[in-house]
Structure 1
Amino acid sequence: MQTVIVPYVRDPVDKSYRKMMAGVARFEREHALAPAASLRFRLLPRLPTTAMRGVAVRIAGERLSVPLALDDDNSFVLPRNQEALRDDAAVVANRRGDSLTWRASIHSPGVAPGTRRLGDLRLECRVGIEAALVSNSSPMFGWLSDALTNAEQVCTSADGNYLFFAERPVFGVSVRHGARAEVMPFNMLYAGGRLTASDLRFCDCQVLLDRSFYAPIFDASWPDDAIVEFEYMDDAP
């Protein structure tokens, strides 16, 4: 791993390396939710003007800069680096902080395209909250206040409102396990379907609104192997 020493001044929108590694530790502790999956972190556009080609990410501190390899979907693995932990380093991208959003990316092998495994989503939420990835800043997202910044409250409550993003704009979302199937109501799509134009600028879903959805990760009656299925807007009739 290449290490280059460059000066760095933390920007408040950058992600804390220590917190992201706390998310990695959470993944390791609760790996049973997605036992065959690995953990990546992913960058997504927050603004319509965000150019996602050529994005670069590094671990940056006052005395180190470690470039991270990005996959084609702008996801990366965060390595353990003791110097970065000691230095209270940040994970930074070469884009304006308000132009990107961050999520954990956990995908079990063998899950069909156009679907997600519910246990993977449960673990994504817990890792994402532990790693402090979400950066919504409106009173509408009061669940991200100090009282609701732990995974137990956000990811196990019907009011947790942890947003996920599908790969394409969604028309409908359903959950299935065996003979049981339920179509998710409209208020579980499009960030609840109640954001005004002024609210939207505070949500990290603003350019991904038509891909956003909530999942019943809080509902213990659905097992981890339940499958979330998407009906996309561009599906053939």
Structure 2
Amino acid sequence: MRRLSSITLATLLLCGAAGAAEKEAVRELDPVHVNAMRNPEVRKYKVIVAGLDAFERDRKLAPAAERLLFRVTTRKKDESPEPLAVRLAGDDGFKLPLAIDASGRFTVPRSEAALDAASELELNRKKGVYRTEPEIRTPGLPDNQRRLGDLRLECKVTIAMAKAEIPTFWVLTINTFLMRTDWCGFFGDPDDTRFEGASRHAHFGYRTDRPLARALLVDGNRSALLKVEGRSFNVPIGNHTWSDDAVVELTWAEAATGTAGETPRTAP
């Protein structure tokens, strides 16, 4: 039971900020004239700045990644005929359009004016159509490979943004419960036996654009199959017996072959 409770907490701490957003009013993003969605994952500019700070602070995890990207992905079918647009908008008419590429990726600059205007990230879509998440990728890797250090840094950014959004009381409560301020270190920590092995089995989830057949974590001559659920895969990022240079090799469901059932070379 304690194992279940700790894993449940680890899930809730990443979702708490999203629940708070449900009560906020929406803006209209002109000139498209549809309700603007403040994404439940990325909303207030000060939260984004917390992510930018975490990226710089823990940059050593992904030294080749030049910048923090944000990626927009669909939650459900987008029926709007208008091109997808994103901007920062705040008090006194402050507006800062952001360039978004064909893959739904964009960067957010540091801006004192945006902070002073209490800006928020806005999409020209109704709430619930899209989600926005940080993305960190080492250049040169194919789309079906994710470097473990990049994923660890993504977690650091995600957690920093969550901490900036939820009440301080909950941050301190979770720090006390986990007995650590590094929440990412909880996921897969092989030395943490306080929760009857929950840390060892609680893995951090990452989403992909396509359905997955499998995900294989490879580090030199060592490998292990990771749990796959639809378009997501779970990673023991807190298990530091796996190096930052380890790679998750993804096999897309539509391209799955007989090799998808191969046995990993060694167990984790």
TM-score (norm: length of structure 2): 0.66
> Secondary structure of 1:222's match?
coil
RMSD in angstroms over aligned alpha carbons? Answer: 2.9
C-alpha separation in 2, matches of 1:92 and 1:77: 14
Q: Deviations over 1:40-91 (max 9, x none)?
A: 1111111244669721110010220110000111111101110111222101
Instruction: Indicate the residue corresponding to 1:199 in structure 2.
Output: none
Alignment pair present for 1:27 and 2:55: yes
State the AA in 1 paired with 2:116. Answer: R
Alignment pair present for 1:176 and 2:218: yes
State the AA in 1 paired with 2:154. Answer: E
> Secondary structure of 2:96's match?
strand
Match of 1:92 among 116, 122, 126: 122
In terms of Rg, which structure is larger? 2
Match of 1:66 among 81, 85, 96: 96
Structure 1 residues 92 and 169, CA gap change in structure 2 (3 angstroms): same
Mapping for residues 220-235 of structure 1, pairs under 5 Å? 220-235=240-255
Q: Which moved more, 1:17-26 or 1:122-131?
A: 122-131
Structure 1 residues 16 and 99, CA gap change in structure 2 (3 angstroms): same
Match of 1:83 among 113, 117, 124: 113
Structure 1 residues 19 and 236, CA gap change in structure 2 (3 angstroms): closer
Instruction: Indicate the residue corresponding to 2:228 in structure 1.
Output: 189
Mapping for residues 157-172 of structure 1, pairs under 5 Å? 157-158=187-188, 162-172=204-214
Aligned length: 198
Q: Percent identity of the aligned residues?
A: 32
State the AA in 2 paired with 1:106. Answer: I
Structure 1 residues 151 and 83, CA gap change in structure 2 (3 angstroms): farther
Mapping for residues 206-221 of structure 1, pairs under 5 Å? 210-221=230-241
C-alpha separation in 2, matches of 1:225 and 1:132: 26
> Secondary structure of 2:159's match?
helix
Structure 1 residues 103 and 85, CA gap change in structure 2 (3 angstroms): same
State the AA in 2 paired with 1:84. Answer: A
Alignment pair present for 1:126 and 2:161: no
> Secondary structure of 1:163's match?
strand
RCO greater where, 1 or 2, for CA within 8 Å and sep 6 or more? 1
> Secondary structure of 1:219's match?
coil
Query: 1:129 Cα shift?
Result: 2.2
C-alpha separation in 1, matches of 2:38 and 2:254: 38
Structure 1 residues 71 and 101, CA gap change in structure 2 (3 angstroms): same
> Secondary structure of 2:254's match?
coil
Structure 1 residues 32 and 109, CA gap change in structure 2 (3 angstroms): same
Structure 1 residues 74 and 183, CA gap change in structure 2 (3 angstroms): same
Structure 1 residues 76 and 52, CA gap change in structure 2 (3 angstroms): farther
